[in-house]
Amino acid sequence: MKSSQEVEVKIAVQSAAKARALLREKGFQIHKARVFEKNLVLDDAAGSVRQRNLLLRLRTAGKRITCTFKGKEIAGRHKRREEREFHPDSLDECLAVFAGLGYHPTYVYEKYRTEFTKNEVGVVTVDETPIGVFLELEGPGRWIDGTAKELGFSRADYITASYAVLYTEWCREYDLPATNMVFSEK
């Protein structure tokens, strides 16, 4: 049974190709093939979910839909928070249920994700986003630290900010309006 607590860090890398090559060199194998993900962050008109440092998200990855609740972050060198997920059959019906409760998409972010594993302890993903490429190491803290070191990274490389925060900072750095973190507005 999956733990109800998510423990992870992100690490910025130069390119997806170099990250994949490094992971293969260190014995990691693809666990889930590269897939396009679209993430819809839901909130009410007052922004009360975000104000409470919580997250309600609907994600499509290929044909799979995942509804996720994330609790408040627990301070530390790794990003830790409660995480609960389930897989609805219909994105439209799930959105309609949440809309009936007053929750609507307020932010959209996209990425391409490839999952790698070497053992059953943790997962390393290569996330290709509109603002750069990131490794995400998820598993027990000790595994994260050991895996980061094995891959040539230190704790100084750890990023615990969400993609929404990273995107807002990126927009500020490039003097752009912070809208949605998507590859192209349609």
Q: Give the domain range for residue 166.
A: 5-173
Q: Which residues contact 31 (CB under 8 A, 6 or more apart)?
A: 115, 116, 117, 123
Residue 22 lies in a domain: yes
Residue 183 lies in a domain: no
pLDDT in tens, the chain (186 residues): 456 999 999 999 999 999 999 999 999 999 999 999 999 999 999 999 999 999 999 999 999 999 999 999 998 999 999 999 999 999 999 999 999 999 999 999 999 999 999 988 999 999 999 999 999 999 999 999 999 999 999 999 999 999 999 999 999 999 999 999 999 865
Q: Does 178 map to a domain? A: no
CATH number (domain holding residue 124): 2.40.320.10
Q: Name every residue whose Cβ is closer than 8 Å to that of residue 109 and which is 6 or more positions away in sequence.
A: 39, 41, 129, 163, 164, 167, 180, 181, 182
The count of structural domains within the chain is 1
- Report the sign of the C-alpha dihedral through residues 103, 105, 109, 113, in that order: positive
Whether 31 is in a domain gets the answer yes
Q: What is the pTM of this model?
A: 0.93
